[in-house]
Amino acid sequence: MKRFLKVLLILVAVGVFFVVLLPGMMSYHDSITQRTLLRTVARELSRNASMAEMTEFMQRHTVRFAVNQDDQLEYAGFVHQSELDRFLGDRKVQIILELNRNSKTFQRAAVRIYYTGP
């Protein structure tokens, strides 16, 4: 009976970890990543930075990038994926630089985080 209770307690603890603690820790990790990348953009790109400056920024900080000219003119690229990112459900982090459609200069930045794994 004692062995059964110990096993049950371990299973409950593991369940609590995966249901409650892990999502909270991942959310905290995402917010730190987002904050860090937005600070990097603010430090390295001034408002109204040129396309050449944004291209240099994307070359330094992303593994692949492109300009999306559909609805909103934006420069988007994915940050290098770490081993932890692959472990955490194939986590992908994207930097988006929104551009002024007329002058094609930098206006604001955003960070999106995707989980594409199981």
Check residue 90 and give its pLDDT: 81
Instruction: Let me know: does 96 contact 112? Beta carbons within 8 Å.
Output: yes
Which pLDDT does position 81 carry in this prediction? 86
Task: Please write the tens of the pLDDT for every residue from 8-32.
Answer: 788 777 777 666 666 777 888 899 9
pLDDT one-digit tens code per residue, 28-53? 889 999 999 999 999 999 989 999 99
Mean pLDDT (the chain, rounded): 86
Q: Work out the end-to-end distance of the chain between its first and last CA atoms, rounded to an integer number of angstroms.
A: 36
Backbone angles phi, psi at 95, to 5 degrees: -100, 130
The answer to whether 61 touches 95, Cβ cutoff 8 Å, is: yes
Residue 32 has a pLDDT of 93
- Cα distance between residue 65 and residue 11, in whole Å: 44
What is the DSSP annotation of 72-96?
S-EEEEEPPPPHHHHHTTSEEEEEE
Give yes or no for a contact between 43 and 59, defined as CB atoms under 8 angstroms apart. Answer: no
pTM beyond 0.85: no
82 pLDDT higher than 90: no
